[in-house]
A and B are shown apart, each in its own frame.
Chain A
């Protein structure tokens, strides 16, 4: 497995729901030790690693560290643990899932999301998803007091899901959104460090918090850095499954990262889209337009920050996003890394902010 994918595996296995991104940040800090000019952490937990460029034009490269998760809201008399979602879930991917429950710096324990067995459901309930308030987490506790030995209200839970290769070059894991962006950023820093490159842009590698709840740390980071240009690295939901017509697929796994023209947070400047697509073409890097207006990401905050920033979003096409089993094509990781690296190391004079 390529070095970047090995790091991605470690990042995906980390426990990092929104506002609890510390474990992910620890791994990133360890990986990047001694490979940057400046490292800052703001009050909400965004980490920014700066690599000084030949010019003072600033390029913000951004990926978020948080993943969708659950927050423990109550423990009942029998020791069953109720929760609220932190981030957008399709309720249908929750029931039955194994979890790790805990908090940063606390031992994580195993649990699972449960509800009544099929034998205990009424005919009306069968064939319907269970509402979130009728599901609970079971850790094997006997009572409220017993459960409270291991879990407190305010703790988090994330999926327990392994990172594996399958099929023809596919990978399945949790939290691909957006540890894949974090891994690509680390890979670029490693490349710059190993090849002793001084980039043209002054590069700000931003590992942000709280994207999954919309109140994103990228706002704080962008307003602080005031970049001239921004690249957002993401994972984007795709529907390239058998029987889906082309116009509803969003993008296809295996055909390179997507460049978004529009999503629910941003209408991207066409010169930024053309810039990224041309870099891909000129360097034989597979990439594709995201062909559907769906989703949203930190670009929505960044492009409107500090008087406006020319922003491009490059995303890995990912099936079953926000579930325990996100699926992407490992070749797309490589293409996404190469395209992002081309953008990061592009001479300022060849970009839309010249």
Chain B
């Protein structure tokens, strides 16, 4: 099995705020060199990795995970080097005051989001400032900040990948790079098992904004698409989805939805059941909130399924997943690809 912690740390350390997914080259080249024959970036920005078929007669299977993450962008430089920002994607504003950030300007800089001291706060003590009203403290003079940080600079959460108990890890950008890790682990297993078909890994961009995935899929036109994204795990105080109780550690969650491909998904669930893969099933009748909403309708249509890794604290710098769940997702996906390819699952 691939070293999941190592892959997670390689993939989550660079800049990959939606639309600014350019800080990942080193990790991407590592993945290309280790597992694939080629890597290219298509015009809308997604990265396509291809491992050519070693034998004829296999379907073309694409695994998609998005490589962008939520973040911020600088909109104005203020006195004393403070920055105004706006959000990219749906930020959780509860975690922002006094949070550490990385500013990807002409240099990579540290910053801290301003937390207004109590004597300057007015009104309700529980109300949170909107992102547009927040500032980042760069500790620089205005002149230096203007020189190093052009308006439009992306800003990301700053974090330290941390191990928790029971093979859980905590960090940022697991939405959705932890699913890329699962996909890479699945592909490593298929390679080790001598799988002969073509394998396409799509690390798509801008999922948090505009789901640019469709551009890449149009060109690739795979026979099957397996989309993997994170899903919100059940946590205490969570009554909104009281019936949806998948928690971190339960294994992958398979989404059953009228807009992905019900028959394809049911085949996947049957496969998981028959072969004893740990999983849960979640019905999301008309929307999955992921790339799997869009891929089925690309080109002549693509049979698509969605398999999710349960995650806590989505869109924060303290996202939590279980590496056991990631490993189980990888094993399930690898087994199913072999089944699709007509190879018997060992």
Contact = CB atoms under 8 A, between A and B. Distances in A.
Contacts of B127: 127-129
Contacts of B249: 142
Interface stretch (A39-47, A92-100, A176-184): A92-100
B232 A166 contact: no
B160 A98 contact: yes
Best-buried of A139, A166, A167 by chain B (most CB within 10 Å): A167
Given A92-B115, A97-B318, A120-B232, A168 B109 contact: no
Given A114-B235, A120-B241, A138-B320, A241 B94 contact: no
A320 interface: yes
Contacts of A240: 80
A117 B316 contact: yes
A96 B125 CA distance: 18
Interface string B22-66: 000000000000000000000000000000000000000000000
Given A141-B166, A320-B98, A325 B112 contact: yes
Interface in A127-179: 127-131, 134, 136, 138-142, 146, 150, 160-162, 164, 166-170, 172
A242 B232 contact: no
A1 interface: no
B14 interface: no
Interface in B72-89: 78-82
B285 interface: no
A196 interface: no
A257 to B, nearest CB: 18
Given A90-B118, A96-B313, A117-B316, A110 B238 contact: no
A120 B238 contact: yes
B286 to A, nearest CB: 17
A167 B139 contact: yes
Interface stretch (B130-138, B181-189, B221-229, B259-267): B130-138
Given A92-B97, A112-B318, A166-B111, A98 B170 contact: yes
B210 interface: no
A95 B95 contact: yes
Interface string A51-91: 00000000000000000000000001010100000000011
Interface in A288-302: 292, 294
A118 B115 CA distance: 20
Given A167-B138, A325-B99, A118 B119 contact: no
Interface string B204-244: 00000000000000000000000000001001111011000
Interface string A24-48: 0000000000000000000000000
A327 B316 contact: no
B236 A325 contact: no
Contacts of B110: 164, 166-167, 172
Given A93-B97, A167-B139, A323-B97, A250 B318 contact: no
B162 interface: yes
A244 B120 contact: yes
A80 B236 contact: yes
Contact of B126 (A128, A164, A242): A128
Nearest to B114: A241
A109 B165 contact: yes
A96 B144 contact: no
A292 B139 CA distance: 23
Contacts, number: 200
A129 B235 CA distance: 17
Contact of B320 (A112, A120, A250): A112
B236 A167 contact: no
Interface string A255-266: 000000000000
Nearest to B316: A96
Contacts of B92: 96, 117-118
28 contacts: A80-B235, A80-B236, A96-B99, A96-B316, A96-B318, A98-B170, A114-B235, A114-B320, A116-B240, A117-B312, A117-B314, A120-B232, A120-B241, A127-B127, A129-B126, A140-B164, A140-B170, A166-B109, A166-B110, A166-B139, A168-B139, A168-B141, A169-B139, A241-B137, A242-B80, A319-B114, A325-B99, A327-B112
Contacts of A90: 97, 115, 118
A189 interface: no
Which of the four size classes fits the interface of chain B? 35 or more
Interface residues of A, number: 69
B100 A172 contact: yes
Contacts of B166: 140-142, 146
Contact of B94 (A130, A136, A243): A130
A349 interface: no
B164 A111 contact: yes
B322 to A, nearest CB: 8
Given A115-B94, A172-B110, 19 more contacts: A80-B235, A93-B97, A98-B162, A110-B163, A110-B164, A113-B318, A116-B237, A118-B314, A119-B90, A120-B240, A127-B127, A128-B128, A129-B94, A129-B127, A131-B126, A162-B160, A168-B141, A172-B112, A237-B117
Contacts of A248: 119-120
A324 interface: yes
Interface string B252-280: 00000000000000000000000000000
Given A96-B95, A241-B114, A292-B119, A168 B317 contact: no
Contact of B165 (A141, A241, A323): A141
B119 A92 contact: no
Given A96-B317, A118-B315, A240-B80, A325 B98 contact: yes
A240 B119 CA distance: 12
A314 interface: no
B237 A127 contact: no
A115 B232 CA distance: 12
Nearest to B172: A96
A283 interface: no
A116 B137 CA distance: 28
A238 interface: yes
B93 interface: yes
Given A240-B80, A319-B137, A325-B100, A98 B128 contact: no
